[in-house]
Amino acid sequence: MSKIGYLIIVVALAVAVALFIASQRPQTAAPQQTAPRQHAVLYMATTTSVKDTGLLDVLIPDFERWAAERGYDVEVRYSAVGTGQALLMAARGDVDVVLVHAPDLERRYLENGTLKCRDVIAYNFFIVVGPRGDPAGARGTSAAEAFRRIAEAKAPFVSRGDRSGTHIKELSLWREAIGREPDPKVDTWYISAGAGMGQTLLLANEKRAYALTDVGTWLRYRDRLDQLEVVVPAAPDLINIYSFEIVKPSPAAKLMAQYMLTRGQEVIGNLTVAGQPLFTPISRADPRAMEWIKPAVFGPSCVG
């Protein structure tokens, strides 16, 4: 290498060292000043219904503001998948908190230690929707009876097929209705979409098919679903319970749990489409619904 080459390297190193020292100085010079706010990033896994309804769009910015008012700089990064995947991500340690809706599955993850604590925060209902004209004659029955008639008529049915809370509920309804889970390979009327709730409804609309959906996503998408209507409305056995859980305890995670049961309740209750609420916060549950929710309240609370 030429002399000029060595010179350039030496000068570059000198500049780098000088910059390094300069950058260190303010921190060592001012240790007495108030400690800088801790910037915490909270990773969250949740379900597509919570995202497709637009709840996360209002809940997360509001939580971040609420936390900032209390002197916490928290940033939430979420990924909306099905409940099954969200809990798998929790088990792998990829997320700090989850917001899901499959109590039976949650119980298992609580028992194996993946979830440290759990609070029911809101509920709504599942409904069965289907094509106008109701070709399977499923209207005016219970969900299980509707499913039995759909299977009997071999009317097209779109399943989430993605291990989400809605999919898990749907499979349990099939077991109740026809004693087994439909097999998309043999039962050609059974369409396994592998998609989120919103896309599943759009697919059902295209195929003029039946589907199980949560009421929130249905209300949010209804004006785009001109081929579909409600076949089985909200009923006690179709209650859909959402809960918040901490996977990795931290001050930020605990703060979010607190928010979910205080200010967040208001935000959840205020989310409406055409005047209809998408979710009922647990603080506003009527006594009758509370009876249906009771079996799904278990595990240590994340607050207090």
Letters for 162-191 (x = contact with other proteins by CB under 8 A, - = none) are xx--------------------xx-----x
Between CA 81 and CA 78 the distance in angstroms is 10
With CB under 8 A as the contact rule, which of the stretches 134-142, 193-201, 251-259, 281-289 interacts with other proteins? 193-201
The minimum distance between CB 162 and other proteins, in angstroms, equals 7
Backbone angles phi, psi at 281, to 5 degrees: -65, 150
With CB under 8 A as the contact rule, which of the stretches 5-13, 78-86, 96-104, 137-145 interacts with other proteins? 78-86
Binds other proteins (CB under 8 A): choice among 55, 121, 195, 215: 195
Between CA 174 and CA 42 the distance in angstroms is 37
Looking at the Cβ atoms of 45 and 252, the one nearer to other proteins is 45
With CB under 8 A as the contact rule, which of the stretches 125-133, 192-200, 255-263, 275-283 interacts with other proteins? 192-200
| Contact status, residue 193 vs residue 244, Cβ threshold 8 Å | no
Backbone angles phi, psi at 236, to 5 degrees: -50, -40
Tokens 């605990």 found at:
254
Letters for 6-45 (x = contact with other proteins by CB under 8 A, - = none) are ----------------------------------------
With CB under 8 A as the contact rule, which of the stretches 23-31, 77-85, 212-220, 265-273 interacts with other proteins? 77-85
Residue of 138, 95, 133 lying closest to 247 (CA atoms):
95
135 is a contact residue toward other proteins (CB under 8 A): no
Q: Which residues pair with 214 in a beta bridge?
A: 126
Binds other proteins (CB under 8 A): choice among 135, 137, 194, 233: 194
3-class secondary-structure state, position 212: strand
Burial class (CB in 10 A: 0-12, 13-18, 19+), 137: middle
Task: Calculate the CA 34 to chain-centre distance.
Answer: 37
- Interface ranges with other proteins (CB under 8 A): 81, 84-85, 88-89, 92, 161-163, 184-185, 191-195, 199, 203, 205-207, 226-227
